[in-house]
Every structure is written in structure tokens, then in C-alpha cells.
A = this chain, B = another copy of it.
Amino acid sequence: MAKFATPQLDQLESGPWPSFVSDIKQEAAQRAANAKNIEYQIPVDAPEDLLGVLELSYNDKETHWKHGGIVGVFGYGGGVIGRYCDQPEMFPGVAHFHTLRVAQPSGKYYNSTFLRGLCDIWDMRGSGLTNMHGSTGDIVLLGTQTVQLEEIFHELTHNLKVDLGGSGSNLRTPEACLGQSRCEYACYNTQDMCYQLTMDYQDELHRPAFPYKFKFKFDGCPNGCVCAMARSDFAVVGTWKDDIKIDQEAVKAYVAGEFSPNAGAHSGRDWGKFDLQKEVVDLCPSQCMKWDGSKLSIRTADCVRCMHCINTMPRALHIGDERGASILVGAKAPVVDGAQMGSLLVPFVSCEAPYDDVKEVIEKIWDWWMEEGKNRERVGETMKRLSFQKLLEVTDTPAAAYHVKEPRSNPYIFFKEEEVPGGWDRDLAAYRKRHQR
């Protein structure tokens, strides 16, 4: 028998998509039964109270969570989000209901041993509810009380050899696509760069010293499965410089219908016979391809590596061999100044461990942003406020045409004083001799 009637939430148990309500209810039942005789360290009925407070929200159409207070573990400035219910008497099981962010492995591969270890900790010391995963990529342990924080941290680090993730004005937990582990498009080892940089910047991750949050994300190719250039202040997106490798026989096999185009992704509808000209050559954004009926050719100088042809014929076309990544800077969601996507800063950087080339760029940007950034200003906003030129300057990057989609359409050009003969000190008297008042 449930603690609260949840007639509205109950309606979310029907329908085919996995029901989070059913899942929370199953957790509530497990805890109530407590077959394993766990010594629950926070209220056993936390899941039930959570359903209760959520049902209340479904009635009020308003949230019942308050701003978090400052809670955390010793020596860290992030990783824990304080959260309190605004009706604690009604729902004591979730009156205090803090979140821990736990660093996920790059690419989010797990084994059951690790996950069960995590479940055991969270069974006993938390609500038994998680997010797999939070928006930034962390494992999110959803709901515990202040006194448990150090205990959980101790068990995570000692027993599971895993650390907390980031929150607040610091480096947030970096994230990578699965990269070379299972993708033929990956131009570099995204998981390794993510892991190494996460390790190298543990201090920046745990101890807030930035104007605002800062995110790294690592995509293996321009398909961008981990959304690096839309979601991270510093996006490393795999690319290559040389020719796309073409297997002409395989191209013909696609044309002949032997291979399924787009890796079978369109098999749910009859789109007709595969038309190489129409479906690939004509859709190339830089019109760099040619198909003469027996040979597909690509003018590499005009290729912008959009991935469409490779995605469409993965058995015939393969990324080039001179591989590395582009770096794009400044992506963020709307608050405050509007959304931004990452803007291309470095067109090509080689991606060999220990990634010093990449780290050099990161550290120059941090130095600048920590010096010039305003409180709660993302680096994209700093760029907007101080100019892209300033970003080039502080990262020692020469301006180049690939930095822009188009040149400026206003003639409001700043010149540096040293660029202008005579500089800015001028002789008014001499001017007035040439030009009477």
C-alpha cells in the first residue's frame, strides 16, 4: 500500500515507454520489503515521499524544491548540489534531498561489478534513485542527507576508486563520445583525451576558481554525437586533412544495391533505389564530388568534411589518415546573453598524448578568462564582449578566413595604434594651421 495516493502519476504507468513512476514504485517496494536487511541511512520511504511531492506538483503545477544551501565534502567546492523540499513536514523523507555528481568513465562503459558497488552504496546511504546520467554526463545520485556526504565520498573513493564530478564555477565533468572504441569515424582517441585532461585538471574541477562553469566535450568526428560544439565551452571535434579514402568497388556495390545506404538507417521506408548522384553528390555542401558512372572522385581542397558521403556509404568511404581535431570555443545555453555554439578557433591540432598542444590552448584561454571574465560570464560571452580578435590574441592564433563564416559587414574596424603611421598622438596646432576653425 503506497504511502500517498498518486492518481495523476499512476496514469504515467501506462503506455509502452519505460515508466519512471513504475520504476520509483518498484524501488519503494524493494526498500519497504528490505529483503537484504539493509541498514538504511536515510529514510526508507524517500522514494514514496518523492512520488508524493511530485504528485503535489502535478496538482499545483509548480515545483516544490528550494534553492540549495551550501553542502559538500571537505576540500571540494563542487560535486554536491544541495536540495530541500519546500513542504518538509508533508514529505520528511525528502526534506533534505541532495544530489551527488559522480565522475563517469569516458564513453560511459561500465561493468556490473562497478555498477553494483554503486547501487550498494546508494541503497544504504541514499534514496536508491539516480540519473543515468545528468545533462553534463555525470552519474547523478539523487537524494541524500548532509551527514551522508562524507560517508558516500569515502566509500566511492576507497571502495570504487571513483571521484565526484564538477558543479559550480569550475571545470565541469568532461565528456567524450565513444570514439575509437566502437566507431570507424573517430579521428582521435576521444576517450583518452577526455580521461587525461580530466586527470590533469582535477584541481580546476574540484575547486571553483573560474568566473563561471567551463565544459570540455570531445567528439570524434563532425557528426558530433556528444554535441561538443553545441554544449561545451571548449569543444574538440575530430577531423582530418588529407583525402577521403575511396573504395571504388564498394561504391559500385552501393550503386548496385548490394550494400544498404546510410548503414541501413533508412530501412524503415521504401525510398526507392539508391541514387548516388542525387543522394550524395548533389547534397555535398561544397560541391566537391563527381560521379562519372564508374568512378567517384573528390576534390579534397574543396571538401569541408561534413561526413554526409561517408555516413551514406560507410563501407566505401573512410576518413583520411592525417587525423586530428578542430577546436571550437564558447558554446553555451541561452542564459544570460542568448545561446551560442562553439566558434572555430583552431582548425587542426594533432591529438597525441599527452595532448600538450590542446592543453596549451586551454590554459591560455583560462588565463585570459579568469583575468577578464565577469562573474557568471561564460567564456563565449567574454568573447562576445571583448571580441573574437581578443581570443585570437590571447591564444597566439593568427586571424584566418576559416575563423569566419563571412567577413564583417560593417566598416567599424579597430586598428592597433602601432598599425597606424604616427600613432594616435597628433598635433592640434599643426592641424589648426592646415584647417582654420
Residues of A within 8 A of B (CB): 60, 62, 64, 66, 86-88, 334, 338-339, 409-412, 434-437
Contact = CB atoms under 8 A, between A and B. Distances in A.
Interface of chain A: mostly helix, strand, loop or mixed: loop
Nearest to A436: B86
Among A64, A88, A409, A434, the most chain B Cβ lie within 10 Å of the Cβ of A434
Given A339-B410, A409-B339, A410-B339, A64 B435 contact: yes
B334 A412 contact: yes
A435 B84 CA distance: 11
A334 B412 CA distance: 9
B62 A435 contact: yes
Given A64-B435, A339-B409, 15 more contacts: A60-B434, A62-B434, A62-B435, A66-B435, A86-B434, A86-B435, A86-B436, A87-B435, A87-B436, A88-B436, A334-B410, A334-B412, A338-B410, A338-B412, A339-B410
Contacts of A409: 339
Copies of this protein in the complex: 2
A86 B435 CA distance: 5
A311 to B, nearest CB: 24
Nearest to A90: B436
Contacts of A334: 410-412
A129 to B, nearest CB: 23
Contacts of A435: 62, 64, 66, 86-87
Nearest to A64: B435
A60 to B, nearest CB: 6
Q: Which 7 A-B pairs have the closest CB atoms?
A: A86-B435, A86-B436, A338-B410, A334-B410, A60-B434, A87-B436, A339-B410
Contacts of A437: 86
Among A66, A410, A435, the most chain B Cβ lie within 10 Å of the Cβ of A435
A434 B63 CA distance: 10
A378 to B, nearest CB: 15
Nearest to A338: B410
7 contacts: A60-B434, A62-B434, A86-B435, A86-B436, A86-B437, A334-B411, A339-B410
